[in-house]
Amino acid sequence: MFAHQTKADFYTRSATYNAYGEEVYTSALSFSTGARLVTMSFKDEVKATGTVDATKFFCYTRKNTNTLTVVKGDYVKVGSVNYEVIGIDPKHGNRSEIMFLLDLLEDTTV
């Protein structure tokens, strides 16, 4: 999708409990950084369906103290589009970069 660096805002999700004992999730801006989004593509999927999943992306960022604190379930906002972090790969082959697997959120509120 995007080949150039763009601003990504990372949100930390936390759970609190309401008066009925139900979990209520809230999120707060944790940090912003440059990121590169790449569309996922799988040869088998393209062969089978003729399409590429446009709801999941790889997000590459520089590895630093902020990006190392991101966990699965946190949110990322790029432009006006919200994503959820569903996977993390520290990319041992490239020690200066970390890769997140993002899933598009249908709900636009973070």
As a whole number, mean pLDDT of residues 87-109 equals 79
Residue at 54 is within a domain: yes
Q: Is residue 110 part of a domain?
A: no
Angstrom distance (rounded) from CA 40 to CA 37: 9
Does the residue 109 lie in any domain? no
DSSP-based three-state secondary structure for 37: strand
The whole-number pLDDT of residue 11 equals 93
Query: pLDDT of 47-94, one tens digit each?
Result: 556 555 667 888 889 888 898 889 998 999 988 888 999 989 876 666
Q: What is the pLDDT of residue 2?
A: 47
* CATH (domain of 35): 2.40.10.270
CA nearest 99: which of 56, 52, 66, 63? 63
For the chain, the domain total comes to: 1
Task: Tell me how far apart the alpha carbons of residues 32 and 61 are, in angstroms, rounded to a whole number.
Answer: 11
**Domain presence at residue 1:** no
Tell me whether residue 68 is in a domain: yes
Short-list 88, 102, 107, CA closest to 25? 107
* 75: nearest Cα among 14, 24, 17: 14
Domain limits for position 49:
6-104
pLDDT of residue 21: 87
